[in-house]
Structures are given as C-alpha cells and as structure tokens.
C-alpha cells in the first residue's frame, strides 16, 4: 500500500511540474523574442515563434544550400541567430567557432540547441545540420537579433 501511495505521489509531482509547450518555448527564447500580450499556439509553438520572429528580428534570411556560407558570415555579426524549419523546428546557434564540416550544406555547421515538434516538443542539441536536416525544399528561415 505504501508503494502505491508513493508511486501516486511521484506521478502527481511529475505531472504538476511539467511545463507546457508554451512555457518551454518562452523560457528557451527569453530575452530574444518578446511574448508579452501574445497568445502562443501551445499545440505547436513553432508556428507562433515564426510569426513573432518575423515581426521582431532585425533581419530575416531564407536559408538555402546556395547561400549558407554568406548567411552564416552575416549572422555572426548579430547577438542571436534563430533558425526555423517549416513549422516543426526552432534552433538557436550557440557557438559559431565550434563547427563541423557538412558535405550536404558545403559549409561548417555550428553548434546549436532547440526544439523539434514531433508528438511533443523534443529538445535537441548538437551541430545544427543534425537538427535542421539537409538542404531540400523545406523552408528554413534565419532570424537575426541584436
């Protein structure tokens, strides 16, 4: 019986402490994107991020295999670079100096961290080519913030 109550207590604590998708993403982008007085799509907050980033960023660039090097050169002059892939992935570049060559992108891909929307938001970190995928027909936008 004690085990049952203990298990129930632990389960309730975990559920009560879990963050919503909105809380996760607003914490992740705190100080970069202003979420005040905005209703975030909790089911898929990447949609809301794209809309807000488009309004609040200093510059937006569509990332392609052809412009990746020049885009990254420009992005290094900003405080934050957020890459959004479609409506499912948002990645912040965390380290421009720590990068790995990517044959698919024909560029050195920096370290980053972010979230991928699968069934739930899943945190990802590592070289961004492993998070944003290979150049294809998906829309990838780079939002630059000072």
3 confidence band (pLDDT: 50, 70, 90): low
Question: What integer is the mean pLDDT of 22-45?
Answer: 92
CB 123 within 8 A of CB 113: yes
Work out the pLDDT band at 2, boundaries 50, 70, 90. low
- pLDDT tens by residue, 103-134: 999 999 999 999 999 988 999 999 999 999 99
Residue 72 tokens read as: 């990254």
Mean pLDDT of the chain: 90
- Which tokens sit at 128? 């961004």
| 116 within 8 A of 124, measured Cβ to Cβ | yes
Instruction: Return d(Cα 80, Cα 142) in angstroms, integer.
Output: 10
Reduced to 3 states (helix: H, G, I; strand: E, B; else coil), residue 133 is coil
Kindly report, residue by residue over 56-72, the tens digit of the pLDDT: 999 999 999 999 999 99
């Amino acid at each position: 019986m004690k085990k049952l109550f203990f298990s129930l207590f632990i389960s309730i604590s975990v559920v009560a402490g879990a963050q919503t998708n909105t809380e996760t993403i607003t914490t992740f982008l705190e100080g970069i994107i202003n979420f005040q007085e905005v209703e975030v799509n909790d089911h898929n907050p990447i949609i809301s991020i794209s809309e807000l980033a488009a309004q609040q960023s200093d510059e937006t660039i569509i990332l392609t295999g052809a412009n990746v090097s020049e885009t990254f050169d420009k992005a290094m002059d900003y405080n934050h670079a957020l890459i959004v892939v479609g409506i499912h992935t948002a990645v912040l570049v965390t380290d421009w100096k720590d990068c790995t060559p990517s044959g698919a992108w024909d560029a050195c891909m920096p370290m980053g961290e972010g979230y991928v929307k699968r069934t739930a938001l899943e945190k990802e970190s590592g070289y961004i080519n492993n998070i944003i995928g290979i150049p294809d027909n998906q829309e990838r936008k780079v939002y630059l913030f000072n």
